[in-house]
Structure 1
Amino acid sequence: MPLTAAPLTILLTAVVCGALAAALTGWIRTIAESDSLWLRSGVHVALAAAVGAGAAALAENVPELVAFAALAVACGLLVAIDLAVHRLPDLVVVPMYPILFAALATSSAVTGDWGALGRAAAAALALLAFYFTLAFINPSGLGLGDVKLAGVLGAFLGWLGWYYVLVGTLAAFAINAVVALILLLSRRADRHTGIAFGPAMIAGAAAAAWLSVGG
């Protein structure tokens, strides 16, 4: 069982992540340049809290907890922004690279498992290259924001293992396909309607991480 998975730690992490997301509400509305309901409904707060609880359940030491909790807050913000304006702002995505790798490097220093850090870096590069290729082939389907987020999620999933990189990536495309099908069948979208891909990427990574807890 992960060292930090005590119920109190999970609860406190959820509260802290939710509170941070709530405190950043005005900021994300400013950088998104939108007053969309997605940014006013508190969905980012609920998501940050929920994913933060999962982060505490997954983490095995304090540096891991910091890395995963920071990612939880960022993902909560990004889902809301992407649903609102179909963008993944650099101001949220890019800082996650140094934050995530600094925390994971600290974890490696604590545990002596430097292989996990190398795997995280390799997975980040692999998904960056993969998503960049897809965006180059079909720029209307994927944007550079998706490419940059892929690197962050790749580092996270690579830290867990290559199997989870594969699962998380495939799950993202499967989830997006299901969402697109539902929207088409309900006539809320057509073949030319843009669908935010960031939420599916994050949901796929979360699903893979959930599998890793039992693994």
Structure 2
Amino acid sequence: MTVLLTAVVCGALAAALTGRIRSIADSDSRWLRSGLHVGLAAAGGAGAAGLAGTGSVGAGSVGAGSAGALPELIAFAALAVACGLLVPIDLAVHRLPDVVVVPMYPVLLATLGVTSAVTGDWGALGRAAAAALALLAFYFTLAFINPSGLGLGDVKLAGVLGLFLGWLGWQYVLIGTLAAFALNAVVALALLLSRRAGRHTGIAFGPAMITGAAVAAWLSAGG
């Protein structure tokens, strides 16, 4: 029941923000009119409900673990909605707007911080913060070396996803990051082979980053 309810709430929130994302993107692209953001947010919400409370966080008492699952669910669901909005925006205009990405830092830190306070597992929050800093540094270095390949929006999103994946565990930070680059390479190769893109055609990297994080989260929940 929680899975269905969270999926419905996340999908409804994304639907309510349809006009907002068109305004943010300053575009009426088919990606923004397709309803893709609603489906992605709903699917992400279902995944958030399935993931919350299943990890190593909350290893204290059963009561503490149950109480900690609620703020964790809110964190994951909020990220699901944000990512649902970001994917079509990036596909449409190759941008990851600050107005969507940046607020996720305080949202995740606050909700995951509450989870740690309830469960007593402060190590998970420290790991999440460390992973966010690590991915910020890594992506910033890549963007500095090759600014045409990665933008600052990708760098900021990397920090957000680092918080999420770091909360799950260092192995998932690695899996999510590697999966993102692998998926992007597959997409780029497919576009080249189909002649829908050239060697210098820009490809939105945000969707691959988000998909890679989703793959890692799925694996963390036991597949």
Q: Considering the TM-score relative to the shorter chain, is it more than 0.5? A: yes
Structure 1 residue 29 and structure 2 residue 22: aligned?
A: yes
Give the TM-score normalised by the residue count of structure 2: 0.93
1:152 to 151, 157, 160: 160
Q: RMSD value over aligned CA atoms?
A: 0.6
Residue ranges of structure 2 left out of the alignment (5+ in a row): 54-68
Give the TM-score normalised by the residue count of structure 1: 0.96
How far apart, in 2, do the equivalents of 1:52 and 1:189 lie? 33
Q: Which residue of 2 aligns with 1:179?
A: 187
Following superposition of structure 1 onto structure 2, how do residues 39-50 of structure 1 map, counting pairs within 5 Å?
A: 39-50=32-43
Following superposition of structure 1 onto structure 2, how do residues 27-176 of structure 1 map, counting pairs within 5 Å?
A: 27-60=20-53, 61-176=69-184
How far apart, in 1, do the equivalents of 2:42 and 2:194 lie? 30
- Spell out, residue by residue over 1:147-180, the C-alpha distance to the aligned partner (whole angstroms, 9 max, x if none): 0000000000000000000000000000000000
- Spell out, residue by residue over 1:174-215, the C-alpha distance to the aligned partner (whole angstroms, 9 max, x if none): 000000000000000010100000000000000000000018
How far apart, in 2, do the equivalents of 1:23 and 1:31 lie? 14
Deviation, structure 1 residue 128? 0.1
Amino acid at match of 1:171: A
Find runs of 4+ consecutive structure 1 residues off by over 6 angstroms: none
Q: Which residue of 1 aligns with 2:216?
A: 208
How far apart, in 2, do the equivalents of 1:203 and 1:146 lie? 13
The count of residues paired between Structure 1 and Structure 2 equals: 208
| Percent identity for Structure 1 against Structure 2 | 85
- Spell out, residue by residue over 1:46-99, the C-alpha distance to the aligned partner (whole angstroms, 9 max, x if none): 000001100000001001000000000000000010000000000000000000
Deviation, structure 1 residue 27? 0.4
Deviation, structure 1 residue 121? 0.2
Q: Which residue of 1 aligns with 2:4?
A: 11
How far apart, in 2, do the equivalents of 1:41 and 1:91 lie? 22
How far apart, in 2, do the equivalents of 1:182 and 1:52 lie? 29
Amino acid at match of 1:183: L
SS in 2 for 1:145: helix
How far apart, in 1, do the equivalents of 2:210 and 2:145 lie? 22
